[in-house]
Structures are given as structure tokens and as C-alpha cells.
């Protein structure tokens, strides 16, 4: 009988510290992934800063990334008013993407966003920024702007205002966090599942002939997780832009 | 180039360091030297005489770990600081410089095109002027040639007429002379013949006058 020992969740997302174990300064695998994300971002933008007339290599990649965030996210969600948020949204995109992509990098194979700390911190930071932008744009009228949708009959406001408050002030940061965290955690668990299944089948028994099937699953989902890593970074950044625009917009 | 090599070397060192340290969570159990929290946990198990203690429970994945938040703040802060200070402005400056350069080239090309258009228009105007001038010169030459031709033709016709007149006069003179000569000869022959007939010489002047009047009468009737 095939006996698979699937590791508990804590074993696939919790990592022992390399230094300062148990302290606030503990450095574990997730922290090293942060360090790589920082290093790769700095490398990309340092090597890409060439100013050649015809961009190639890192310069091409960096310029494409900047145009992607600026034209595809900032201009699409906020227009020219949002240009000042480009550094923040660019940082969000790259930090999330690089911490996600380690899910498929051999040996490391762990997305830092599968731990709730990073998505929660970035969602809360974005929460502060977009509500801050709303207060900056509307003053205290922002409360009304956020809670009272236009065209709603006064009688319905008793219902609508609590719903809007729960939606925009309580659920939004939660959904922003969970969307990134849950997608990456689910992808990580999926890859571990297929890897464990492949490993479990690769024994000297007749059912070893089935081992290529989960192996194909590992290969397919590894490619799929590359897409998920990019897509989740894009979605998180795009939603931040949408939230900022909704908060500071004067259109009602 | 040196900066690139240094950055690549730094990345390689960090990667090597990481690979040297990285190990799965399960490897925690095979450590020969226990970490401080592990030792604390063993003490807790021993004190409780049970494995059902808090430190044995897996942390809730929905609760963030303080160290990950702290390092996340630091990491994101570094990325944001670098991109806002150097990364994004550097790339944007390069892109803007390229845009300006291309725009400048396009403007210069447009100016050159306009200038070329002006030069072409000038050239075409000059060409048209030259054509007009050449046509005028040709026309003038043609007119002059016609004039010369007419003059020469008139002169030739005049010369011909003059020559004809002169020739006619000469012919007339020659004819008159010939007639006169003939008349004289005929008179002489007639006198000689008459002398032969009558046997004596006639008064020459009378005979001549007689012959002449005869000839005139003959000429008048012919």
C-alpha cells in the first residue's frame, strides 16, 4: 500500500533561523528572500541605468518594467495625477514579484508571500497611503466621499453607510492581504503536494510507473506559479493604484 | 564595467552564503547543537513531564512573525528608498534623454526636409526661369534668324531682279546693236547687190537712206 507522509503545513512554510533564533532580529529563509529581492531590484536598476540610445539587456528590462508600471498601472488607474506614486507602486511590484518568484527557484523554492507578514505589512502600508491620499484630497469630507455613494436614496443610507465602512475600512486591507498570501500559499502547497507524490511513487514497486504523472504536474505547476508570481504582484500593485485613485478622486 | 562586475560578485557571494546556510525546516531535527528556543522547549517538556506544551505547537500561519514584519519593513524601505532616490530617476532620465534626442533628430529632420523643400522650390523656380529665358532667347534667335532670312531673301530677290534687269538691258543693248549691225550689213549687201544689178555705183548715202527706210517699213509691218 502506498504510504505518503505529507509534511504538516508548519514544515513547509516555517523555517528555522540562521541567526538570532527566537529574537526580533531572527534571520531565516524568508528574511533571506527579502534580501535577495532587495539585491535583485538594486542590481536590475543599477545595471539597467546605461542610457544607451538602443537599450539592450538589463537596461531594456528595467525600462520595460518602468513603462509597464507607469503606463500599465499608474496611468491606467490614476492618470497623470498618480505619477507621484510611481516609486511606491514600482517598489511594491518588484518587491512582491521577487519575493514571489523564489517559489520556483531551485533549492530555495519558497515564496516569502506565503507567510502572512509581508502581504499584511504591504496591505496595511497601502491602506495608510490610500486613505491618507483621500484625506489629503478631500479633507474630512473624505469620510462622506468614502461612505456615501452618489445617487443612493437617503432611506438606504442607513444600510449603505455601514456596508461601505465595513467594505472600505475593514475588509479591503484584509482582502488585499489574503489575496496575495492565499494564492502564494496555495501554489506552494500544490507544488509540495505534487513533489511529495512524485517522491512517494519513485520506489521499487510496480506503481513507480505512475511517477511521471505527478512529475508532469510539478513541471506544469512550476510554470503556472511563474505566471501566478507575476500576476499576483501585478494585481496587488494595480489594486493599490485603484484604491488610491478611488480615495483621491473628485468624481462622484 | 567594474561596477557591474562588483555587483555580480556581491550577488554570487550572497547566493553562495545562502545556499550554504539554507536547509529545510525538517533538518532542524538533525542539528547536533540545539538552538536556545529548542533547549528552552526541552526544559519546558521536562518540567511539565508532557509533550503537550505550547512550544511544541506549530505557529499559526495566519499570525505574522515579528521578525518577518521587521525585516520586511527594512527590505521594502530599502527598495523604495533606492528606487525613489536613484533607480527610477536614473532610468527615467535615460528614457527622457532618449525621447528628447529622438525628438531633436525628428525636428532636425523636419527642418532639413523643409529646407530641402525650399531649395527644391528655388531650384524649380530657377529651372522654370531658365526655361522661360531659354525659350525667350530661342524665340529671339528665331525672330532674328527670320529677320536675317527675310532681309537676305529680299536682298537676294532685289539682286536677282537687278541682275535680271541688267541682263535684260544688256540683252536689249546687244539686240539693238545686233539689229543695227545687221541693218548696216543688210544695207551694204543690198547696195552691193543693187550695184551688181544696175551696173554702176549708186550714191552710197542715198542708198543707205533708201535701205534704211525700207528696213524700217519692214520692221514696222513685222
What is the tens place of the pLDDT at every residue in B135-192?
999 999 999 999 988 898 898 888 888 888 998 888 888 888 988 888 888 888 887 7
Which residues are within 8 A (CB) of B106 and not within 5 positions of it... i.e. 6 or more apart?
Answer: none
Alpha-carbon Rg of chain A, whole angstroms? Answer: 22
From A48's Cα to the closest Cα of chain B, the distance in A is 7
pLDDT-based confidence at B18, cuts 50/70/90?
Answer: very low
Question: What was the pLDDT predicted at A237?
Answer: 97
Interface check for A220 against chain B (CB to CB < 8 A): the answer is no
Cell of B46: 521536562
Question: What was the pLDDT predicted at A250?
Answer: 76
Residue A211: domain span:
9-248
ipTM reported for the complex, 2 dp: 0.91
Q: Give the one of A8, A32, A41 whose C-beta lies nearest to B79's C-beta.
A: A41
Alpha-carbon Rg of chain B, whole angstroms? Answer: 70
Better-predicted residue by pLDDT, A194 or B25 = A194
Question: What was the pLDDT predicted at B39?
Answer: 75
* CA separation for the pair B83, B88 (Å, rounded): 5
Percent over 70 (pLDDT), chain A: 97
Cross-strand pairs, A19: A27
Percent over 70 (pLDDT), chain B: 77
Three-state SS string over A150-209 comes to CCCCHHHHHHHHHHHHHHHHHHHHHHHHHHHHHHHHHHHHHHHHHHHHHHHHCCCCHHHH
Q: Give the one of A36, A66, A115 whose C-beta lies nearest to B88's C-beta.
A: A66
Interface check for A123 against chain B (CB to CB < 8 A): the answer is no
Q: In this structure, is residue A170 part of a structural domain?
A: yes
Interface check for A240 against chain B (CB to CB < 8 A): the answer is no
Largest Cα–Cα distance in chain A? Answer: 73
Question: What was the pLDDT predicted at B4?
Answer: 61
Q: In this structure, is residue A1 part of a structural domain?
A: no
Across A100-124, average pLDDT: 93
Q: In this structure, is residue A65 part of a structural domain?
A: yes
- Total domain count, chain B: 1
Q: In this structure, is residue B179 part of a structural domain?
A: yes
Query: CA A104 → CA A41, A107, A113, A182, distances in Å?
Result: 18, 9, 13, 17
Question: What was the pLDDT predicted at B193?
Answer: 79
Q: Which of A71-75, A135-139, A192-196 has the lowest mean pLDDT?
A: A192-196
Question: What was the pLDDT predicted at A249?
Answer: 85
Most A CBs within 10 A among B71, B74, B98, hence the mutation to make, goes to: B71
Inter-chain touch A14–B67, beta carbons under 8 Å: no
Q: Which residue, chain included where needed, has cell 527598495?
A: B79
Asked if the model's pLDDT at residue B58 lies above 70, the reply is no
pLDDT-based confidence at B23, cuts 50/70/90?
Answer: very low
Q: Give the one of B4, B25, B64 whose C-beta lies nearest to A14's C-beta.
A: B25
- Total domain count, chain A: 1
Which chain B residue has the Cα nearest residue A23?
A: B67
Q: In this structure, is residue B69 part of a structural domain?
A: no
Question: Dihedral of the CA atoms A5, A9, A10, A15 (nearest 10)?
Answer: 90
Q: In this structure, is residue B82 part of a structural domain?
A: no
Q: In this structure, is residue A4 part of a structural domain?
A: no
Q: Which residue, chain included where needed, has cell 536598476?
A: A45
Degrees (nearest 5) of the Cα angle B83, B88, B92? 175
From A106's Cα to the closest Cα of chain B, the distance in A is 10
Inter-chain touch B75–A39, beta carbons under 8 Å: no
From B81's Cα to the closest Cα of chain A, the distance in A is 9
Question: What was the pLDDT predicted at A4?
Answer: 62
Residue B189: domain span:
167-221
Asked if the model's pLDDT at residue A16 lies above 60, the reply is yes
* CA separation for the pair A167, A180 (Å, rounded): 18
Question: What was the pLDDT predicted at B194?
Answer: 76
* CA separation for the pair B150, B143 (Å, rounded): 10
Asked if the model's pLDDT at residue A67 lies above 80, the reply is yes
Amino acid at each position: 500500500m502506498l504510504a505518503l507522509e505529507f509534511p504538516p503545513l508548519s514544515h513547509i512554510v516555517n523555517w528555522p533561523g540562521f541567526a538570532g533564533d527566537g529574537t526580533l532580529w531572527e534571520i531565516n529563509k524568508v528574511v533571506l528572500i527579502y534580501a535577495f529581492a532587495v539585491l535583485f531590484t538594486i542590481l536590475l536598476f543599477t545595471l539597467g541605468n546605461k542610457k544607451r540610445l538602443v537599450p539592450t539587456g538589463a537596461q531594456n528590462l528595467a525600462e520595460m518594467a518602468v513603462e509597464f508600471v507607469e503606463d500599465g498601472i499608474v496611468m491606467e488607474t490614476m492618470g497623470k495625477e498618480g505619477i507621484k506614486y510611481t516609486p511606491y507602486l514600482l517598489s511594491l511590484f518588484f518587491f512582491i514579484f521577487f519575493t514571489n518568484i523564489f517559489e520556483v527557484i531551485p533549492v530555495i523554492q519558497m515564496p516569502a508571500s506565503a507567510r502572512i507578514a509581508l502581504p499584511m505589512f504591504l496591505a496595511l502600508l497601502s491602506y495608510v497611503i490610500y486613505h491618507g491620499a483621500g484625506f489629503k484630497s478631500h479633507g474630512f469630507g473624505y469620510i462622506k466621499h468614502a461612505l456615501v455613494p452618489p445617487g443612493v436614496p437617503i432611506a438606504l443610507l442607513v444600510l449603505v453607510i455601514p456596508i461601505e465602512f465595513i467594505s472600505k475600512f475593514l475588509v479591503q486591507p484584509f482582502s488585499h492581504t489574503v489575496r496575495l498570501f492565499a494564492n502564494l500559499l496555495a501554489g506552494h502547497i500544490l507544488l509540495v503536494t505534487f513533489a511529495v507524490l512524485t517522491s512517494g511513487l519513485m520506489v521499487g514497486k510496480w506503481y513507480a510507473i505512475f511517477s511521471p504523472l505527478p512529475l508532469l504536474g510539478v513541471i506544469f505547476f512550476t510554470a503556472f506559479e511563474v505566471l501566478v508570481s507575476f500576476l499576483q504582484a501585478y494585481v496587488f500593485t494595480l489594486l493599490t493604484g485603484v484604491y488610491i485613485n478611488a480615495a483621491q478622486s473628485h468624481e462622484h | 564595467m567594474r561596477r557591474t562586475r562588483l555587483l555580480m560578485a556581491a550577488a554570487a557571494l550572497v547566493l553562495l552564503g545562502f545556499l550554504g546556510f539554507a536547509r529545510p525546516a525538517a533538518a532542524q531535527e538533525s542539528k547536533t547543537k540545539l538552538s536556545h528556543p529548542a533547549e528552552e522547549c526541552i526544559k519546558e517538556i521536562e518540567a511539565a513531564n508532557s509533550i503537550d506544551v505550547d512550544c511544541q505547537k506549530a505557529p499559526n500561519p495566519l499570525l505574522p512573525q515579528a521578525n518577518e514584519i521587521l525585516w520586511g519593513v527594512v527590505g521594502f524601505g530599502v527598495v523604495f528608498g533606492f528606487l525613489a532616490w536613484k533607480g527610477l530617476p536614473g532610468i527615467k532620465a535615460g528614457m527622457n534623454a532618449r525621447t528628447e534626442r529622438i525628438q531633436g533628430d525628428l525636428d532636425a529632420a523636419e527642418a532639413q526636409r523643409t529646407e530641402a523643400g525650399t531649395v527644391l522650390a528655388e531650384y524649380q523656380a530657377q529651372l522654370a526661369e531658365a526655361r522661360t529665358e531659354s525659350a525667350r532667347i530661342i524665340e529671339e534667335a528665331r525672330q532674328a534668324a527670320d529677320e536675317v532670312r527675310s532681309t537676305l531673301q529680299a536682298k537676294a530677290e532685289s539682286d536677282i531682279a537687278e541682275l535680271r534687269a541688267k541682263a535684260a538691258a544688256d540683252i536689249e543693248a546687244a539686240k539693238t546693236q545686233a539689229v543695227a549691225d545687221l541693218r548696216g550689213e543688210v544695207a551694204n549687201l543690198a547696195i552691193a547687190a543693187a550695184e551688181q544689178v544696175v551696173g554702176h555705183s549708186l550714191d552710197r548715202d542715198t542708198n543707205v537712206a533708201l535701205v534704211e527706210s525700207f528696213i524700217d517699213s519692214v520692221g514696222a509691218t513685222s
